C-alpha cells in the first residue's frame, strides 16, 4: 500500500517514539501534543508526503532542536516502572469497561491515526461516522497518477482484470492530458490582474483546473487520511469494516485493530465483525429486489420531508429558553400569535449575529430531509457534514455523469466523454457478477443519490459555507438549491440564512492572497 521509506537508526528512534510503526500504511500516533497532531493531520490535505516523512522533515528544519529531541528521547525513563503502571491502568479499564459495560469510558481515549494508500471508496466508509474528525488528501491541491490505485482482489482474479488495468491507465492518461489545456483556459478567462500576487493567482488557477479534471479520477485511486477518533467510535468503525463484503474494508479493519490495540488494548477487545451487520445487509438486499418501483426523472435536489409546523416549533423553542413554563403551554400561545409577533421574536433571537457567529441551539429542534442527486466528487465533500443523518445508495453508473463547464470550454469534452463512456461500458460488463467491486472503477464524475437530514441550525451553516465563491461549483449549486427551497417554503426561518450567489472567476484567489500576506508576516 504505502511506499516503504528508509531511515537512519537515529531517525527510527525518533519516529518510533511518535508512531506505532514505520513500515505499514496504517499506524497510530503517540506522545503528540494535541496541537502538533492537529498540524500534522492538516498536512495531509496539501502534501504528497506521508505523515511520518512529513513530520521528520519538519523536525529536521531546526537541526539544533532536532539534536536536543534525540537526546531527550534517549534519556527518557521508561523501563519496568512505566510498564507496570500501564499494565495496572489496563487492568482497571478492563474491570470497568468490560466487566461493568461502561463503554462510554472509551470516549475519553482519543487517538490520532494516519491511513495511507487506501482507496477513495474506502475513505467514504470510514468517514461514515459522526463523532470523529477527518482531513483527507485534497483533489483540489494534489495531482494523482496511476502509480497508486487499489484493485479489488476479486476483480484482480477475474476475467476482467486486464480490461480494468487498461481502463485505469486510460483514465489517468486523460487526467494528465487535460492538465495543461484546462489550466490554459482558466488562465485565459481569469488573467492575473494588476496588484494580484502571481503565486496566489497560480495556485488559484491550478485549484480551479483540478476541480474540473478530478471528475476523471476513479474511486480506486489511493489517498491518505488523517483521523482523530475516540475509542468507542473507533471500535464501532472497526466492526463495520470487518463486517463489510469488500476485502479492502476487511483489511483496513484488521490493520486498524492491530495498530490501535497497541495503545488501546483494553478498549478494542470486542471490536469484531458483527453478524447483525452481515445478515441484515444480505437479507435486506434480497428483500429490496422483490419490491418493484417505477423509476422516473426527478429534480436533483428535493425536500422530501420536514418537521410539522417548523415555524411554530422554532419560535416556541426560543421562548422556552427564556420562560419557565411547560413547552406545550408556550406552543399554544405561539399558535395564536400574529405573523408579525413571531417575526419579532425570531428577529430578536438572530439579528445580532456577526459574520463569525452561528445561531444558538434552539434551531436544532426542527428537521429537513433532502434527496440529492450529485456527482461522487461533491458527495465526498458533503458527507463531511457529520452532524447530519445520512443514507447512501450503492454507487452505480445508472445516473450517468456530469461534464464540468471548464472541460467543455477548454475544448476537451470529446476526450473526457470518451473516457467516461469507456468506464460506463466496462462497469455494465462486470456489475452483474461484481456489483460492489464494480464501484471501484467508476470515476468521481458519475452521479449518485444521497439522502440527508439536517436541522435548521446546520442548514444555516451548510448554506453559508457551501455557497462561498471558493466552494466547488458542483456542491455550490446544491447548497443554492437548498436555499431556494427553504426561502420559498419557509421565508421566516430562512430570513437570516446567508447564501452567497456572487460569481468570481477564481473563487480561491482571495484565500490564496490572504495566505501570501500571512507568509510575509512570518
Which pLDDT value is given to residue 81?
44
Which pLDDT value is given to residue 39?
63
Q: Please, what's the largest Cα pairwise distance for the chain?
A: 77
Comparing 321 with 266, the larger pLDDT belongs to 321
- On whether residue 343 sits in a domain, the answer given is yes
Query: Please, what's the b/e burial string for 391-414 (b: 16 or more CB within 10 A of its CB; e: otherwise)?
Result: eeeebbbbbebbbbebbeebebee
Averaged pLDDT, 413-417: 98
Which pLDDT value is given to residue 155?
97
Most confidently modeled of 40-54, 220-234, 322-336? 322-336
Give the span between the Cα atoms of 127 and 365, in whole angstroms: 25
DSSP 3-state of 200: helix
Give the span between the Cα atoms of 172 and 472, in whole angstroms: 22
Domain with 323 in it: 308-361
- Return the minimum-mean-pLDDT range out of 98-102, 166-170, 430-434: 98-102
- On whether residue 323 sits in a domain, the answer given is yes
Query: Please, what's the b/e burial string for 181-213 (b: 16 or more CB within 10 A of its CB; e: otherwise)?
Result: bbbebbbeebebeeebbeebbebbbbbbbbbbb
- On whether residue 346 sits in a domain, the answer given is yes
> How many separate domains does the chain show?
1
- On whether residue 332 sits in a domain, the answer given is yes
Which pLDDT value is given to residue 68?
82
Which pLDDT value is given to residue 94?
54
Does the structure show a pLDDT above 80 at 185? Answer: yes
- On whether residue 404 sits in a domain, the answer given is no
Averaged pLDDT, 324-352: 97
Q: Which three cell numbers stand for residue 262?
A: 497497541
Instruction: State pLDDT tens for residues 51-74.
Output: 898 888 888 888 887 888 888 787
- On whether residue 317 sits in a domain, the answer given is yes
Residue 411 Cα distances to 169, 180, 216, 405, 491, angstroms: 22, 12, 16, 10, 42
Averaged pLDDT, 333-356: 96
Which pLDDT value is given to residue 38?
62
* CA proximity to 132, closest of 160, 112, 154: 112
- Return the minimum-mean-pLDDT range out of 46-50, 184-188, 439-443, 479-483: 46-50
- Return the minimum-mean-pLDDT range out of 54-58, 94-98, 148-152: 94-98
Confidence of residue 82 (pLDDT cuts 50, 70, 90): very low
What percent of the chain clears pLDDT 70, i.e. is strictly above it? 91
Which pLDDT value is given to residue 380?
93
Instruction: State pLDDT tens for residues 420-439.
Output: 999 999 999 999 999 999 99
- On whether residue 25 sits in a domain, the answer given is no
Query: Please, what's the b/e burial string for 337-361 (b: 16 or more CB within 10 A of its CB; e: otherwise)?
Result: beeeebbebbeebbeeeeeeeebee
- On whether residue 339 sits in a domain, the answer given is yes
Comparing 271 with 404, the larger pLDDT belongs to 404
Averaged pLDDT, 268-283: 92
What are phi and psi for residue 390, nearest 5 degrees?
-125, 140
Amino acid at each position: 500500500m504505502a511506499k516503504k521509506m528508509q531511515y537512519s537508526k537515529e531517525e527510527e528512534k525518533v519516529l518510533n517514539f511518535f508512531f506505532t510503526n514505520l513500515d505499514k500504511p496504517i499506524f497510530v500516533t503517540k506522545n503528540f501534543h494535541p496541537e502538533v497532531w492537529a498540524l500534522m493531520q492538516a498536512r495531509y490535505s496539501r502534501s504528497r508526503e506521508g505523515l511520518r516523512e512529513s513530520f521528520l522533515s519538519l523536525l529536521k528544519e531546526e537541526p539544533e532542536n532536532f539534536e536536543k529531541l534525540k537526546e531527550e528521547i534517549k534519556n527518557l525513563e521508561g523501563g519496568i516502572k512505566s510498564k507496570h503502571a500501564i499494565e495496572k491502568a489496563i487492568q482497571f479499564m478492563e474491570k470497568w469497561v468490560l466487566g461493568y459495560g461502561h463503554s462510554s469510558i472509551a470516549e475519553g481515549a482519543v487517538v490520532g491515526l494516519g491511513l495511507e494508500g487506501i482507496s477513495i471508496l474506502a475513505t467514504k466508509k470510514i468517514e461514515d461516522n459522526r463523532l470523529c474528525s477527518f482531513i483527507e488528501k485534497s483533489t483540489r491541491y494534489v495531482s494523482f497518477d496511476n502509480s497508486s490505485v487499489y484493485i479489488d482482489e476479486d476483480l484482480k482474479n477475474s476475467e476482467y482484470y486486464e480490461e480494468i488495468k487498461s481502463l485505469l491507465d486510460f483514465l489517468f492518461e486523460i487526467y494528465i492530458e487535460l492538465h495543461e489545456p484546462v489550466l490554459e483556459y482558466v488562465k485565459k478567462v481569469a488573467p492575473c490582474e494588476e496588484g494580484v500576487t502571481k503565486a496566489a493567482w497560480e495556485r488559484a488557477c491550478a485549484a480551479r483546473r483540478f476541480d474540473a479534471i478530478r471528475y476523471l479520477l476513479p474511486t480506486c485511486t489511493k489517498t491518505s487520511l488523517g483521523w482523530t477518533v475516540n475509542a468507542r467510535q473507533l471500535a464501532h468503525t472497526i466492526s463495520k469494516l470487518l463486517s463489510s463484503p469488500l476485502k479492502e474494508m476487511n483489511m483496513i479493519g484488521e490493520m486498524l485493530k492491530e495498530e490501535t490495540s497497541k495503545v488501546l488494548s483494553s478498549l478494542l477487545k470486542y471490536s469484531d465483525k458483527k453478524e447483525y451487520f452481515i445478515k441484515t445487509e444480505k437479507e435486506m438486499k434480497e428483500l429490496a429486489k422483490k419490491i418493484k418501483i417505477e423509476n422516473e426523472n426527478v429534480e436533483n435536489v428535493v425536500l422530501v420531508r420536514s418537521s410539522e409546523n417548523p415555524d411554530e416549533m422554532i419560535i416556541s423553542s426560543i421562548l422556552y429558553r427564556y420562560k419557565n413554563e411547560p413547552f406545550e403551554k408556550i406552543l399554544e400561545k405561539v399558535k395564536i400569535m400574529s405573523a408579525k409577533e413571531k417575526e419579532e421574536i425570531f428577529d430578536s433571537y438572530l439579528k445580532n449575529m456577526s459574520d463569525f457567529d452561528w445561531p444558538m441551539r434552539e434551531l436544532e429542534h426542527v428537521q429537513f430531509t433532502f434527496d440529492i442527486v450529485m456527482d461522487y466528487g461533491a458527495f465526498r465533500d458533503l458527507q463531511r457534514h457529520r452532524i447530519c443523518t445520512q443514507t447512501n445508495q450503492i454507487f452505480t453508473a445508472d445516473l450517468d455523469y456530469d461534464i464540468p463547464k471548464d472541460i467543455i470550454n477548454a475544448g476537451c469534452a470529446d476526450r473526457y466523454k470518451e473516457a467516461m463512456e469507456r468506464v460506463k461500458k466496462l462497469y455494465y460488463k462486470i456489475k452483474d457478477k461484481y456489483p460492489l467491486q464494480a464501484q471501484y472503477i467508476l470515476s468521481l464524475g458519475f452521479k449518485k443519490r444521497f439522502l440527508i437530514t439536517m436541522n435548521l441550525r446546520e442548514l444555516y451553516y451548510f448554506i453559508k459555507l457551501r455557497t462561498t465563491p471558493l466552494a466547488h461549483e458542483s456542491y455550490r449549486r446544491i447548497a443554492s438549491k437548498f436555499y431556494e427551497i427553504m426561502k420559498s417554503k419557509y421565508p421566516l426561518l430562512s430570513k437570516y440564512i446567508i447564501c452567497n450567489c456572487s460569481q468570481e472567476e477564481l473563487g480561491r484567489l482571495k484565500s490564496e492572497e490572504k495566505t501570501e500576506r500571512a507568509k510575509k508576516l512570518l
